[in-house]
Amino acid sequence: MDRSFVAQNPSVLVFLAILSLFTLGVTILSEGVGIGVISTSFVKTLGKTLCLGLIAVAMDLVWGFTGILSLGHFAFFGLGGYMIGMWLMYERTRLIVVDSLAQAEIPPTSTEVVDAIATQVFGVVGSSEFPLIWAFSHSLTLQLILVVLVPGLLALIFGWLAFRSRVTGVYLSILTQAMTLALALYLFQNDSGLRGNNGLSGLQNLPGVTASQDVVSIWFLWASALALGLGYMLAAWVVSGKFGSVIRGIRDNEARVRFLGYSVEVYKLAVFTLTACIAAVAGALYYPQAGIINPEEMAPIASIYLAVWVAIGGRGRLYGAVIGAAFVSLLSTWFTGGQVPDIPLGFYTIKWVDWWQVLLGVSFVLVTLFAPQGIGGLFDLWTNRHAPQRHGAALGPDESALREKEATE
Amino acid sequence: MSTLLEVSGVSVTFDGFRAINNLSFQIGNAELRAVIGPNGAGKTTFMDIVTGKTRPDEGRVIWGEKSVSLLRMSEAKIAQAGIGRKFQKPTVFEDQTVQENLLMALKNKRGWLGVLFYRPSADDLDKVADLASEIGLKDELTRKSGELSHGQKQWLEIGMLLAQEPRLLLVDEPAAGMTPQEREHTTDLLVQAAKTRAVVVVEHDMEFVRRLNCKVTVLHEGSVLAEGSLDHVTSNQDVIDVYLGR
Ligand SMILES: Nc1ncnc2c1ncn2[C@@H]1O[C@H](COP(=O)(O)OP(=O)(O)OP(=O)(O)O)[C@@H](O)[C@H]1O
Ligand SMILES: [Mg+2]
């Protein structure tokens, strides 16, 4: 990344500056290492929000820039979480087992230790043996590699099959939903090897770490901020050059890109796989902060929310995706957390816990209809950029093409 | 003159309608050819077949010295082999600047990794600037191409075609929506381009075709009706009946 990259993309610098200030500010105000204004649980919420910002960047790359409306990226996010969760659970259980067996007169053999861990971990699904997929769970390094390898490989295979047969538009979206649903249903089974609907839990406890959650939450906040910063720079770099031109061309008019000699399928596959890996990294940082992961997290609806965040934030501009994800998910936490006062109408009381979804749905429809440039469009008012005057014509013939109001002059 | 592209016995049927019917066509290495014919004659479909967009039901399409068949190649591979195409309706990337459009078309590596790490060299930028002045868009390099006029988009697309440096240019109605001066300029460009490569021009405007001063192929109902100089084909009674006489 050379100087000209930053020079040509001043918004990257602004974004990184705001992200750093935010992280620093939260740290100073935190319970763990600062003056105690922000509770540890809220620090975790903010850390998780940064991870959601990162997967939103991935979604914007694949949908906003390449025009592939994937409704399956939360599957990759969840898989990333599972991969790191396996090590966290294994290692923490191992420490407990070793500790308790240390009391015994005869020192335990290593098979005894492994068996004891397996009984602890899989007792809940009536098993006492490690399934094959846990073969590497003893090694942090290997599981970290799997965090990107497993979702990346799944994306590569799925994408290869889908793009090769030129499935596009709505059909592709449905296919990604089907993939997500199949994966979630599989994981719900007790013999899936990942503890069925119990999922993996206790992930907030880092094995061998004695620091309190107050401090650990700050570590994760910083790690999430770092990942978001790096992911954002990577995405901005990817879209800045000719590669960005080609993928935006694919979004607006993929047939034309083919006739220029670019193999559209390969480009789509590259973007799909790269963004799956970014989503997986986001998930691997998210779930240790959430403490638990279960198949519910990978339900198809989660991936649809992701598309809603990016649409509300503004498709095709990276900062818009982050803002959309942060804004909507924090608002959702607030509404569903029960802090918002109910509105008594006399004949009916609006309980926000129930009505929040409706509100979100309605805002999504309104944004799509009346302000397709989303929250990110507010920055255009500020920098005085306008949508082109095209009398309603989109910027290309494809279904995914940028619409008149989404574009800038 | 050696043959660059040879189409033989090609037929295409859409839902029972035979759009191309046992069509045969040849063009040499540095040749300019005009293709005329009434609406629906199959001119655009012919280009679709050569560029891989439409697969024919039967027939052969043979390319280059090594005589490779284009029928099993993808659109991208055919384009990489050296066939460039300008569409009937100007299709440029409207959300991108004139410069971005030209850089994307410029002959360079097409693989995704090469493209990811590509940054335009001074040489490439010079080429783009030269092309831009040739097509009269020198002052519009940083403008989004969606803001250009219809004629300017036609120009940009011709520029992109030249930037690809193809061995065969397929040009579908390049002069539509252009002023008389612009048409003249287009003729010059095409004649110039045909000195070093093969150029196939589809056009309705007879004046335009006359100025190209080249061999003419008349298509009708998906096959060749007549071929030869413009004067030769325009005096052909069949051609007068189906095309000129209307
Ligand atoms: N994809 C398709 N499906 C069905 N019919 C098609 C398709 N493409 C072309 N046709 C038909 O094939 C015939 C030839 O079309 P084509 O576009 O090649 O004509 P053309 O010579 O380019 O005409 P024009 O001068 O109007 O551009 C037309 O009757 C058209 O309706
Ligand atoms: Mg046509």
Helix (H, G, I), strand (E, B) or coil at B190: helix
List domains and CATH numbers for chain B. Answer: 3-244 (3.40.50.300)
Is the Cβ pair B94, A266 closer than 8 Å?
no
User: CA nearest B21: which of B49, B1, B2?
Assistant: B49
Average pLDDT, chain A: 91
Residues 6+ apart with CB under 8 A from B149: none
Classify the C-alpha dihedral A231-A233-A234-A239 as positive or negative: positive
Distance CA A195, CA A80 (A): 16
| Exposed / middle / buried, residue A117 (Cβ in 10 Å: 0-12, 13-18, 19+) | buried
For the segment A53-72, what is each residue's pLDDT rounded down to a tens digit?
A: 999 999 999 999 999 999 99
Measured between its terminal Cα atoms, the distance across chain A in Å is 27
More confident site: A126 or A29 = A29
Closest ligand 1 atom to residue B41 Cα is: 21
**One-letter amino acid of B104:** M
The DSSP call for residue B140 is G
Identify which ligand lies nearest to the alpha carbon of B38: 1
Chain centroid to CA B96: how far? 22
Residues 6+ apart with CB under 8 A from A186: A192
Q: Is the pTM higher than 0.80?
A: yes
CB-closest option in A242, A253, A395 to B118? A242
How confident is the model at residue B1, as a pLDDT?
60
Cα angle A76-A81-A84, degrees, rounded to a multiple of 5:
125
Residue B112 Cα, gap to closest chain A Cα (Å): 6
Residue B147 Cα, gap to closest chain A Cα (Å): 8
Token pair in block for residue A95: 């420490």
Distance CA A140, CA A138 (A): 7
For the segment A130-184, what is each residue's pLDDT rounded down to a tens digit?
A: 999 999 999 999 999 999 999 999 999 999 999 999 999 999 999 999 999 999 9
B 59-78 residues with CB < 8 A to A: 74-77
A 263-292 residues with CB < 8 A to B: 263-264, 266-267, 270
Q: What are residue B68's DSSP bridge partners?
A: B63
Residue whose CA lies nearest to ligand 1 atom number 24: B39
Does pLDDT of A195 surpass 80? yes
The chain B residue lying nearest A258, using CA atoms, is B76
How confident is the model at residue A5, as a pLDDT?
73
How confident is the model at residue A402, as a pLDDT?
86
Write a three-state SS string for chain A.
CCHHHHHHCHHHHHHHHHHHHHHHHHHHHECCCCCCCECHHHHHHHHHHHHHHHHHHHHHHHHHHCCCCCCCHHHHHHHHHHHHHHHHHHHHHHHHHHHHHCCCCCCCCHHHHHHHHHHHHHHHHCCCCCCHHHCCCCCHHHHHHHHHHHHHHHHHHHHHHHHHCCCCHHHHHHHHHHHHHHHHHHHHCHHHCCCHHHCEECCCCCCCCCCCHHHHHHHHHHHHHHHHHHHHHHHHHHHHCHHHHHHHHHHHHHHHHHHCCCCHHHHHHHHHHHHHHHHHHHHHHHHHHHCEECHHHHCHHHHHHHHHHHHHHCCCCHHHHHHHHHHHHHHHHHHHCCCCCCEECCCCEECHHHHHHHHHHHHHHHHHHHCCCCCCHHHHHHHCCCCCCCCCCCCCCCCCCCCHHHCCC
For the segment B36-85, what is each residue's pLDDT rounded down to a tens digit?
A: 998 899 999 999 999 999 999 999 999 988 999 999 999 999 999 999 99
Does pLDDT of A1 surpass 50? no
Distance CA A240, CA B150 (A): 28
More confident site: A39 or A104 = A39
Does pLDDT of A3 surpass 70? no
Helix pair A40-59, A318-336: axis angle to 10 deg? 140
Can you tell me the ipTM of this complex?
A: 0.92
For the Cβ of B16 lying below 6 angstroms from any atom of ligand 1, the answer is no
Is the Cβ pair B75, A258 closer than 8 Å?
yes
